[in-house]
Amino acid sequence: MVMLTPASARPLAERPHLATAVGGAESNVACTLARLGHRTAWVGRVGDDPFGAMVTGDLAGHGVDVSGVGVDSGRPTGVYVKDPAPGGTRVYYYRRGSAASAMGPDTAAAVLSARPRLVHLSGVTPALSESCAALVDRLVAGASGGPITSFDVNHRPRLWAGGAAETLRRLADAADVVFVGRDEAEALWGTSTADEVRALLPRPRHLVVKDAGEPAVEFHPEGRTAVPAPRARIVEPVGAGDAFAAGFLSGLLTGRPAEQRLRLGHLCAAATLGTVTDLAPLPAPETIDGLLTTPSWPHAATEALSRA
């Protein structure tokens, strides 16, 4: 989607200048993975309008393959607006009847034809329409012997008319890699700890439970690993979860151990917290490599981020 966000991180009611950018859960992950050195592609649909051209041009500029993106002449590109406030950022979506909402199970063919090593989806997509829900079912719940499936629960209550809790639980428990916030898991399923989430979702090979500034926990075949988050300057939080997922997936794809992949997730998320957009400059590769192995984590990461 195209994103409008106050450049000064002030509430919309104060009529601040709005910056135009591109955002979206899966596309954010694709962009960040590309910046970390991975080959990525984004498959979706945009309208035949300037916003659609902006989306494809921006993603291509980040190194993401957009050859699988369809252009819909009858439906518009979705738009969303961020409204920062002291109590937290609210997001307003203008995507009903958008080009993306017309995706369906047939879109899965475009995804699988590329023979990807990993497919990443989020809980935003099945909320868009019945056909989009069927698409996610095809790629996550219907997958067998194909690519690694990664699913970020990413619950957005404003997009759901009902049924979110069971649908998102079923999809999450069918994926290979799952990301969920401890707070959203509590709101959806009544779980209050990471271990309770694991009891509810026993099947994923890698289950990551994030908890804002508290340690992130990964349940994996070797056991359970928790890694504290570095302190970060928070300008605007939307997009940080996508950055975390991209960092973690980068670590997973390159064979890093659990502690290092969680550290990389934290580093990418912390960088994004310091900007009003969904994508932020990442630390230099040599800085990242050093922080992933330093024995003084998270203090060294906090210091490095404060100098960025």
Quote the DSSP letter at residue 129. Answer: -
Sheet containing 118-122: give its strands across: 118-122, 148-152, 177-181, 206-211, 214-220, 223-227
Residue whose entry in the numeric block shows the structure tokens 């450049």: 7
Within 8 A by CB and 6+ apart from 255, the residues are: none
Quote the DSSP letter at residue 241. Answer: H
Helix (H) or strand (E) holding 93: strand 90-94
Distance CA 55, CA 18 (A): 17
DSSP assignments along 191-220, one per residue: --SHHHHHHH----SEEEEEETTEEEEEEE
Please identify which of the residues 58, 152, 176, 242 carries the catalytic annotation.
Answer: 242
Q: Can the peptide bond before residue 295 be classed as cis, meaning omega within 30 degrees of 0?
A: no
Please, are residues 250 and 36 in contact by the beta-carbon 8 Å criterion? yes
Please, are residues 34 and 64 in contact by the beta-carbon 8 Å criterion? yes
Within 8 A by CB and 6+ apart from 236, the residues are: 5, 9, 82, 84, 89, 273, 275, 276
Q: Is 242 a catalytic residue?
A: yes
Point out the residues that are catalytic: 242
